[in-house]
């Protein structure tokens, strides 16, 4: 490829709305162009990267036995009504009408359509297992589209769906996909972690996210440096403290804390560690009748240690809160606690509430909490003596760095990641809703066991950049680079020798199947180098008259601080070695 024939449109400045480095660099390198909020054109340079991602994904999916198909982007609502998702999904699901006033959706994912195909085409146990996938445009009307391709509204996803005869076979399919994902992410050349994720109602560990490690990642991922334990923050379990609850040493006391409504302020005021304070969170659950009207509400008080944070996914698993909960309203709080948020606690309630203590709080003695009175806290609080034992004790907090690993093999560490893939065992959730059955050996209809497996094709380049960049631009791993080698001739218009050497190297690399770009634009060296550094081409060869006179070219990897001189006649072999081709 010659740069003069390609479309290169680099920018000095990133647009103001580009907050993260991958968005800024993709805009500046001319890889994407914004058309609307969360909607981008993949420009030629960006598309080359996306095509490389797709090719690796496609190869490994095929190798793993999955079969490619393409489902429509626009899908009739009827199928989505069968699973209830047409009504249940929020505004993320883009609903549209055609000229006949019929409802359609723009696919955010495709469980309904694929299950409809499976129930028609997979009739016998002899046809199972099957795994069908597509690499297709998705649309999710995200509340906050941002960070360019990282969280777009329109994006490309690889979505695969497995169909099996029983849970054991489905779990084997799941493991096969998890393994294919490892191959895929290894090939991308990125640092990543497969982490256990919450699998909702199904339970078990059969949901993993593939997270590209990056300091700027949106997700907190938890791992144990001494074992292979890794989970996302929703899933990582905080173990119950090992020791028993210490004996009470202090008397219960009412302590004025004027204006100090946070645990941190109270701890500072009383000169005690934050770990001796307890935070109160008030939730509510509603009972509804058949018409959907609320007939009864229950108020809950959740207690976590002052230095800990509540984890909503874990709270959603506490019996009684597992059918859905909400934050209590201020009137509800006043009615039960007699005071406003800031000074709430479990002692001296106006009306009873259900108390759920985090595992850590359940073994605390002499703790501090709100006194249910403005500007007042209670100190020396002890379970059993000053208040009844909690109604429930559960793991309802986020783990923190240094917590013991749930596998008992060390302490937890936390780093940040970007979710680029997700494998998920679905069970019969969709096959049951859509009656997707097959006939087993005895001729009996049985529900298919399903799994779904996504990869964010267009999010991946953004994640790769978050992980691999410097102040000059992107640094692509070879596997994802839009061009692997940039040939940069200096003074090509003046020197026949330079022109010829550049052309020969370009042709030689092409013949080897290397993605090479020859910069024949006639730009000054500074401009030329800055462009390829911004674009992130990993290998660069500079050809100059002066060098050629000594029979030398200059090679520089995007991560090298200096160029290496390479004999002109040996340059192809040198590059072959460097590229491993």
Ligand X SMILES: Nc1ncnc2c1ncn2[C@@H]1O[C@H](COP(=O)(O)OP(=O)(O)O)[C@@H](O)[C@H]1O
Q: Count Cβ neighbours within 10 Å for each residue of 181-197 and write b for 16 or more, e otherwise.
A: beebbebbebebbbbbb
Q: What x-and-dash track marks residues 446-475 binding ligand X by CB under 6 A?
A: --------x-x-xx----------------
Q: Count Cβ neighbours within 10 Å for each residue of 447-463 and write b for 16 or more, e otherwise.
A: bbbbbbbbbbbbbbbbb
Query: Measured between alpha carbons, how far is 131 from 56 in angstroms, rounded to an integer?
Result: 18
User: Can residue 151 be called a binding residue for Mg ion (CB under 5 A)?
Assistant: no
Strand partners, 161: 132, 452
User: Can residue 420 be called a binding residue for ligand X (CB under 6 A)?
Assistant: yes
List, in sequence order, the alpha helices (H) in 95-140: 111-121
* Residue 463 beta carbon to ligand X: minimum distance, rounded to whole angstroms: 8
Q: Which does 421 bind (CB under 5 to 8 A by kind): ligand X, Mg ion, none?
A: ligand X
User: Can residue 148 be called a binding residue for ligand X (CB under 6 A)?
Assistant: no
Of the pair 406, 421, the CB lying nearest Mg ion is at: 421
Sole binder of ligand X in the list 109, 136, 175, 552 (CB under 6 A): 109
Please report, to the nearest 10 degrees, the dihedral formed by the alpha carbons of residues 287, 288, 293, 294 taken in order: 0
Query: Measured between alpha carbons, how far is 374 from 361 in angstroms, rounded to an integer?
Result: 23
Beta strands in 177-325 (DSSP E): 192-196, 207-213, 219-223, 230-232, 253-256, 278-288, 294-305
Of the pair 308, 422, the CB lying nearest ligand X is at: 422
User: Can residue 422 be called a binding residue for ligand X (CB under 6 A)?
Assistant: yes
User: Can residue 235 be called a binding residue for Mg ion (CB under 5 A)?
Assistant: no
Segment near ligand X (CB under 6 A); pick from 82-90, 99-107, 152-160, 560-568? 152-160
Segment near Mg ion (CB under 5 A); pick from 52-60, 210-218, 422-430, 551-559? 422-430
Closest CA to 299 of 352, 255, 261: 352
Sole binder of Mg ion in the list 336, 422, 539, 540 (CB under 5 A): 422
Joined together, the tokens standing for residue 119 give 């129930």
User: Can residue 151 be called a binding residue for ligand X (CB under 6 A)?
Assistant: yes
Segment near ligand X (CB under 6 A); pick from 226-234, 243-251, 415-423, 521-529? 415-423
Sole binder of ligand X in the list 66, 105, 157, 303 (CB under 6 A): 157
Joined together, the tokens standing for residue 121 give 């085409």
Exposed/middle/buried for 88, CB within 10 Å: 0-12, 13-18, 19+? exposed
Position closest to Mg ion via CB: 422
Q: Which does 540 bind (CB under 5 to 8 A by kind): Mg ion, ligand X, none?
A: none
User: Can residue 419 be called a binding residue for ligand X (CB under 6 A)?
Assistant: yes
Determine the length of the chain: 581
Number of residues that bind ligand X (CB under 6 A): 15
Catalog residues that contact Mg ion under the rule CB under 5 A: 422
Q: Which residues bind ligand X (CB under 6 A)?
A: 109, 140, 142, 151-152, 155, 157, 419-422, 454, 456, 458-459
């Amino acid at each position: 490829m010659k740069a003069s024939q390609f479309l290169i449109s680099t920018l000095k400045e990133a647009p103001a709305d580009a907050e993260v480095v991958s968005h800024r660099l993709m805009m500046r390198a001319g890889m994407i162009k914004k058309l609307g909020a969360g909607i981008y054109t993949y420009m030629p340079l960006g598309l080359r990267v996306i095509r490389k991602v797709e090719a690796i994904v496609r190869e490994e999916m095929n190798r793993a036995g999955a079969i490619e198909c393409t489902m429509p982007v626009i899908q009739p609502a009827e199928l989505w009504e069968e699973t209830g998702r047409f009504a249940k999904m929020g505004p993320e699901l883009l609903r549209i009408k055609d000229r006949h006033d019929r409802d359609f959706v723009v696919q955010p994912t495709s469980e309904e359509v694929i299950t409809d195909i499976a129930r028609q085409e997979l009739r016998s146990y002899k046809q199972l297992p099957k795994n069908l996938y597509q690499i297709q445009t998705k649309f999710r009307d995200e509340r906050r589209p941002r960070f360019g391709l990282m969280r777009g509204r329109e994006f490309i996803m690889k979505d695969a769906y497995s169909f099996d005869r029983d849970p054991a076979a489905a779990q084997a399919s799941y493991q096969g996909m998890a393994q294919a994902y490892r191959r895929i992410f290894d090939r991308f050349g990125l640092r990543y972690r497969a982490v256990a994720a919450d699998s909702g109602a199904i339970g078990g560990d059969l949901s993993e996210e593939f997270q590209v490690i990056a300091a700027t990642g949106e997700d907190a991922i938890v791992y144990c440096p001494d074992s292979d334990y890794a989970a996302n923050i929703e899933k990582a379990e905080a173990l119950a403290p090992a020791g028993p609850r210490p004996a009470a040493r202090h008397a219960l006391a009412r302590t004025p804390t004027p204006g100090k409504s946070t645990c941190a302020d109270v701890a500072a005021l009383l000169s005690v560690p934050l770990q001796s304070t307890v935070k109160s969170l008030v939730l509510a659950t509603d009972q509804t009748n058949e018409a959907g009207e609320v007939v009864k509400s229950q108020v809950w008080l959740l207690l976590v240690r002052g230095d800990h944070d509540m984890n909503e996914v874990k709270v959603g698993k506490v019996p009684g809160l597992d059918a859905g909960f909400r934050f209590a309203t201020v009137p509800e709080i006043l009615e039960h606690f007699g005071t406003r948020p800031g000074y709430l606690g479990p002692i001296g309630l106006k009306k009873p509430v259900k108390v759920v203590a985090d595992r850590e709080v359940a073994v605390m003695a002499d703790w501090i909490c709100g006194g249910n009175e403005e500007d007042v806290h209670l100190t020396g609080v002890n379970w059993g003596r000053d208040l009844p034992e909690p109604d429930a004790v559960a793991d309802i907090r986020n783990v923190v760095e240094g917590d013991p690993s749930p596998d008992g093999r060390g302490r937890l560490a936390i780093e940040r990641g970007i979710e680029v893939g997700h494998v998920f065992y679905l069970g019969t959730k969709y096959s049951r809703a859509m009656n997707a059955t097959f006939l087993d050996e005895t001729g009996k209809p049985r529900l298919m066991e399903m799994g779904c497996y996504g990869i964010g094709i267009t999010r991946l380049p953004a994640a790769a950049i978050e992980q691999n960049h410097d102040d000059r631009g992107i640094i692509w791993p070879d596997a994802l680079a839009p061009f692997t080698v940039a040939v940069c001739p200096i003074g090509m218009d003046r020197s026949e020798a330079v022109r010829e050497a550049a052309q020969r190297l370009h042709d030689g690399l092409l013949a080897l199947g290397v993605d090479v770009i020859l910069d024949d634009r006639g730009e000054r060296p500074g401009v030329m180098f800055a462009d390829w550094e911004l674009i992130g081409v990993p290998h660069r060869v500079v050809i100059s008259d002066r060098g050629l006179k000594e029979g030398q070219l200059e090679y520089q990897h995007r991560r090298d601080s200096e160029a290496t001189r390479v004999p002109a006649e040996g340059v192809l072999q040198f590059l072959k070695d460097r590229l491993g081709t």
